[in-house]
Amino acid sequence: MRISAAIFEKTFTPFNVADVEIDSPGPGEVLVRIVATGVCHTDAIARDGDMPFPPPGVLGHEGAGVVAALGPGVSGLAEGDKVVIGWPWCGSCRNCLEGQPRYCLQLGPLVLAGGRGDGSTALRRLDGSPLHSHFFGQSSFATYSLCAASSLVPVAPDAPIEILGPLACGIGTGAGAVLNALRPHVGSSVVVYGAGAVGLSAVMAARLTGATTIIAVDRLPARLSLARELGATETIDVSAAGADPVGAVQEICGGPADFSLECTGVISVVRQAVDSVGMRGTCALIGGAPAGASFSLDHMSTLWGKRVIGTLGGEGRSISLIGSLIALHRQGRFPYDKLITSFPLSSVNEALEASHAGDVVKPVLRMTE
């Protein structure tokens, strides 16, 4: 079937929107008509070579849409169902069986190999030459996506499908890190480094907990203002030369914070986030740093009961995390729609640039102009 897709031709080059061919669904697969898909920092670092997805191919991993066709053996879904495309998972490794499919032992090849598990790709140029597919199991910078049925999260017929895709990664990552991984206790303090889509989602999630001090750290005043609107009790502007966010956190909290989240992927900020928590404090690393990046910590202060943890995708199961965030949004308790700016698929390069420049918080590509 002929579809439109934003092709990732090679690193450090703009996407090229063109017509391509996509396979019909095979056993266990579903063809999804994409209504909208989020644009994430992960797409940018894959384009620039810091995540090893092979070009040429199609990126995009926050897709949501409508089931268009079912492959053999698929049950529990029907054509016309609205779905969010979650992360792929094997379903049989120890982490999947323990309820943590975000840490599937096959995650690397499932999200980055550039095709199905058997090595085949689902996409071709019109001349028949192959394009790598299945980025995060979906390659949703396209009007249609072919993915495993097990990765799909069905949603209600009246769900606002045009804004649901980011719940599968960016929005869900920030919120899930707070709700699933950190779980702040009553009266605790939470500091969020980076007030982008992930960080602001963490702020909104922290407001749903018993945390009484929620601090957002960023260099853009507009984002700090939005953080206050969404639940931050304090903000720290680090745009000035010589700014000391760790000192500011300790002044606000009367000492170290209980929890911190590093949402920027900037290595110098990682150290600040870790230094912002003290004994028995926990720092969650979320941001995607360049390939090969490393950081160092002070041994003694870390030894004294401090925890530094990595988190992927908000942890837990897609169906429970995404379903809960949809319900919280419906109740007015998780207003993530305030982060979203829509672009047509043809403006994918402009969407990425607007995100990089900080002009928008969360770009979402809509497949109809």
Q: Edge-to-edge strands of the sheet including 130-131?
A: 57-58, 2-8, 16-22, 123-124, 130-131
Which of 244, 236, 205, 206 is CA-nearest to residue 220?
Answer: 236
Q: Which residues are CB-contacts of 190 (< 8 A; sequence separation ≥ 6)? A: 178, 182, 184, 202, 206, 209, 211, 213, 214, 215, 257, 258, 259, 260, 261
What's the CA gap between 94 and 164, in Å, rounded? 29
Listed by start position, the domains of the chain span 2-169+315-366, 174-310
Identify the CATH class of 2-169+315-366.
alpha beta
pLDDT at 165: 96
- Beta strands 307-310 and 277-285: pairing type? parallel
pLDDT at 369: 53
Tens of pLDDT, residue by residue over 193-207, are: 999 999 999 999 999
Which of 313, 337, 290, 331 is CA-nearest to residue 103?
Answer: 313
Q: How many residues does the chain have?
A: 369
Q: At residue 98, does pLDDT exceed 90?
A: yes
* C-alpha angle 219-220-222 in degrees, rounded to nearest 5: 150
Q: Which CATH number fits domain 174-310: 3.90.226.10, 3.40.50.300, 3.40.50.720, 3.40.50.1860?
A: 3.40.50.720
List 145's β-bridge partners, or say none. Answer: 32
Q: What's the whole-number mean pLDDT along residues 152-179?
A: 96
pLDDT at 28: 97
pTM summary value: 0.95
Q: Which residues are CB-contacts of 327 (< 8 A; sequence separation ≥ 6)? A: none
